[in-house]
Amino acid sequence: MLSFILLHQIIFSHLTKRNNVSLVIDMSSKGKDIVDGSSSSSLISIGVSSGGGDDQQQQQQLPLSRYESQKRRDWNTFGQYLRNQRPPVTLSHCNSNHVLDFLRYLDQFGKTKVHLQGCLFFGQTEPPGPCTCPLRQAWGSLDALIGRLRAAYEENGGLPETNPFASGAIRVYLREIRDSQAKARGIPYKKKKKKRNVIKTNEGTSNLPM
C-alpha cells in the first residue's frame, strides 16, 4: 500500500512540475462532475445527498477503504494528466487514445524489469545477473488501475456506453502487455478457473416414500 502512495506522489510531482501547477483539491465542492468539463478545482464528486448539513458532514468524515482511497488518487492523477496536455483535455472529450497514452506515460515510473528479446535473460524467471532492459509497469498493476478508473468514471457522472476505460482497445492493449511480459519474464499467465458447484445425485436410490 505504501508503494502505491509513493508512486502517486512521484507522478503528481512530475505532472505539476511540468507546468508549475499547484494542485488544489477542494473537497467541499459538491455536484461538480469532471465529466462535463467543469473548471472546478475538485476532481472528485463525493456523491453526498443534498439533504441536511449534518448528514453531509457525517458522510464526508467517513473513513475511506483502501480501495476507495486508491481509486481517488488514481482519478486525481488521471485528471491532472489530462489538464497537462496541450491543449488540455476535458473528460467529456477523453477517449481510449488518451487512456492508452496515459498507460504508456506511467511506464517511466514502473519497477518491473521486462527483458527485451535480444537480452540474454529473456524468458528467464530468475536471471543470474543485472541487465540494461527497461523497467515497466507490471500488467497486473495496469489491469487493476483500469478497473478503478472505469468505476470512478461512472461514479463521477460518466455514462457506461461512453466510458473510455471500458473500450475494446484498452482490453487489447492490456492483453498484449500481459502476454509480452509473461514471455519476457518467463512467467506464464494462468487464468483462474471458476469453481463450479457440482450437485451430486445418488442414482438408483430415493428417500421418497413409495
Give the tens place of pLDDT for each residue, 191-204: 666 565 554 444 44
Q: Which residues of 109-142 are buried (b: 16+ CB within 10 A; e: fewer)?
A: ebebbbbeeebebbeeeebeeeeebeebbbbebb
Confidence of residue 40 (pLDDT cuts 50, 70, 90): very low
Domains held by the chain: number: 1
Q: What is the mean pLDDT of residues 27-35?
A: 35
Q: What is the phi/psi pair of residue 136, to 5°?
A: -135, 165
Q: Assess if residue 207 is contained within a domain.
A: no
Query: What distance in Å separates the CA atoms of residue 13 and residue 5, rounded to the nearest whole number?
Result: 12
Q: Assess if residue 206 is contained within a domain.
A: no
Q: What average pLDDT is seen over the chain?
A: 76
Q: Assess if residue 63 is contained within a domain.
A: yes
Domain residues for the domain of 146 are 2-185
Residues in the chain: 210
Does the pLDDT of residue 74 top 60, yes or no? yes
Stronger pLDDT, 24 or 82, i.e. the higher one: 82
pTM: 0.63
Mapping DSSP to helix (H, G, I), strand (E, B) and coil, where does residue 155 land? helix
pLDDT of residue 181: 93
Distances (CA, A) of 88 to 94, 192, 205: 10, 40, 72
Q: Assess if residue 38 is contained within a domain.
A: yes
Q: Assess if residue 113 is contained within a domain.
A: yes
